[in-house]
Chains A and B, each alone.
Chain A
Amino acid sequence: MSVLALPRQRDIALQRRTVTRLVIYATLTFWAILYLIPIYLVLVTSLKPRAEVSLDQVWALPRQVSTDAFIAAVERLSPNFMNSVLLTVPATLISAMAGSLNGYVLSKWRFRGANVIFPLMLFGMFIPYQSILIPLFQLMSQLRLTGTLWGLILTHVVYGLPITTLIFRNYYTEIPDELIEAAQIDGANFFNLYWRVVFPLSLPGFVVVIIWQFTQIWNEYLFAVTLTDPVSQPITVALSQLAGGQAIDFSLQMAGSFLAALPTLLVYILLGRYFIRGLLAGSVKG
């Protein structure tokens, strides 16, 4: 817009700009509401007393707020919630640590054949897990690990290795080789280098990887439903069975969904920036 333009023209241009902005904001708000509809229904339904969840009242706000459904959901699902915690925390930490060491080796100790081995490792994160499920189940049965959380932890650690290794390898590539060489001249060996130079620089990498693995393992279903029994079921499996019953109690289901979603949602809301980084790292080139 030229400064010399006549005032009238400037007004018209300004008006058109304002209209465009309004349209953009209106469109964004419309889509935001669409995305939030399921959340509205989850909250409204789970906070209603069971008698109020009738057909013509589905969308109405609760006339009186009831925590019955939440109390029932907590009672039913808290053992499974605990299982999920006991599964997710160790599996996440072990796979993050292993990924960090692997990434360190692959980025700073390049060896012949690394360019073949690394893609072969990565392939493991894309396979449909159905294609390894029967042998996995066989092995876990032979090791007597089915029906325990240990088998599931081992499974998640192994199939988490490709993505954690990938993220750390890409992350460590950014650390200048000169830093490593300087420490080597000072006499640092492989582990000195890792603990004194690489690991202290790894915090952001660990945050990304831990958030990513935490979300993946907490949300996972196929391994969980195949390898656990009713006692060791994580929350995703228990939630799916809540939905499978004959008499469908929607307020219980919605309260259960909320409970199952809560940890990963909290992580996402508090640490969203790192969550997105993990998300984008999944597309290999990072």
Chain B
Amino acid sequence: MRLNIDRITALAVLAPSVILLAIFVYGFIGQTFYIATTNWQGLGAVEISSVGLQNFERLFAGSGLPFFRFREALVNTVVFTVLFIAACLSLGLFLAILLDQRIRAETLFRTIFLFPMALSFVVTGTVWRWLFSPRSGLNTLPTLFGGAPLPPDQWAWFTDRRQLVTFTWADASRIVVILIILGLFAFAAIAALRRRPVQALIAGMIGLSLVGWFFLGGAFETLGNVVRPAHGVNLAMFSIVIAATWQMSGYTMAMYLAALRGIPEELREAARVDGCNELQVYRYVVLPLLQPITLSAMIILGHISLKIFDLIYVMAGGDNLRVDVPGIHMYLTAFRGNNFALGAAIAVIMLLLVAFVIVPYLINAFRTEVKR
């Protein structure tokens, strides 16, 4: 009897949190999906009617600045995510390995590399805006050694207008579809090798039908109209990557360092006895053991970079198209332009992008936990 009352109490204690999260997370997400299918614009009492998926259609294929801007933001996010993750992982691993060499002042170095994590993205943005302002900051660093300042038009940092690679939206879509097709075929091949014919067959069929769809040309009829202006890899984005890496690389360093400390010394010793030199010990023993940490770090950094907002908003302002991201575009569309329907549509796409990364991760984390 006692136990039953306690069980009910336990559920009653948990209930408020569950209900609040049900409303604030799932209820609100549902509401956002709904708003995204309407034409809700403007403040006050306005007539709202359903428009189906029109908002999404426009974002991906419409002409007009807000829609072009969304696609530019999407391209920028992909570029940012790739560069940011690569920079944080490599720098974090590099620093962690150095710190793992029985360093005297380890605590001091660790504190220095990690302290930016304690700062607000707003502080980082304000400081780096100053560091990267073309007429002062880093560009005038040579004056400290008696040199001339770097020319601001060549070293424009986040105000740079130049693009490294340019492509149209239709090109980008083609590339994405080709990548998906290649991915599906690779998956099918691996499944076939592992003797899982059903998986191989399904992936192969989807891949083949995409190839058919691709060559029949039906895919890009609408996109064909949206040729100009060009998207690309914007040089300005590199400044944001530097600032973000300054802030977040300490995180990957801490993760890698914790993992390195978890590798038993006997394992390394055994490799040395087998004739490995220090480099080979890392190459064949340590690095393979760090793979799960790398995956976790990629997912954590990936979901941060896909939703990044405040750093860029404070550093470069809201109207710098070259470093625009969906997080900023959504905020300005909904809360400055009062176009709530379009803002909600952008938010839905952001959520889907993040969910694509996070949901498999959560499912996997809990599957292994239940097995344990």
Contacts and interface: CB of A to CB of B under 8 A. Distances in A.
Interface of A: 21, 24-25, 27-28, 31-32, 35-38, 41-42, 45, 55-56, 58-60, 98, 101-102, 104-106, 109, 111, 115, 117-124, 126-138, 155, 158-159, 161-162, 165, 184, 187, 189-191, 215, 218-222, 226, 236-237, 239-240, 242-244, 250, 253-254, 256-257, 260-261, 264-265, 267-269, 272, 275-276, 279-280, 282-285
29 contacts: A24-B98, A25-B103, A28-B99, A35-B112, A37-B131, A59-B144, A60-B144, A98-B17, A111-B7, A119-B366, A124-B24, A126-B303, A128-B350, A130-B309, A131-B29, A131-B32, A134-B344, A135-B35, A161-B17, A189-B9, A190-B5, A190-B9, A219-B119, A236-B122, A256-B126, A257-B123, A260-B120, A261-B123, A267-B118
A115 B370 contact: yes
Contact of A240 (B126, B251, B303): B126
Nearest to A165: B17
A162 B21 CA distance: 9
B17 A135 contact: no
Given A132-B32, A134-B334, A222-B310, A109 B6 contact: yes
Interface in B273-310: 296-297, 300, 303, 306-307, 309-310
Given A135-B31, A264-B119, A109 B309 contact: no
A37 B130 CA distance: 12
A280 B254 contact: yes
Contacts of B66: none
Interface residues of B, number: 99
Nearest to B326: A130
A265 B117 CA distance: 9
Interface of B: 2-3, 5-7, 9-11, 13-14, 16-18, 20-21, 24-29, 31-32, 35, 95, 98-99, 101, 103, 109, 111-123, 125-131, 135-137, 140-141, 143-144, 149, 246, 251, 254-255, 258, 296-297, 300, 303, 306-307, 309-310, 313-314, 317, 326-327, 330-331, 334-335, 340, 343-344, 346-348, 350-351, 354-355, 358-359, 361-363, 365-366, 369-370
A55 B126 contact: no
Contacts of B255: 280, 283
Contact of A239 (B126, B137, B327, B350): B126
B147 to A, nearest CB: 11
A285 B365 contact: yes
Contacts of A24: 98, 101, 103
A98 B17 CA distance: 8
A275 B126 contact: no
B50 to A, nearest CB: 16
Shortest beta-carbon contacts, A-B, top 6: A219-B120, A128-B307, A268-B118, A132-B28, A109-B10, A131-B351
A128 B351 CA distance: 6
A240 to B, nearest CB: 5
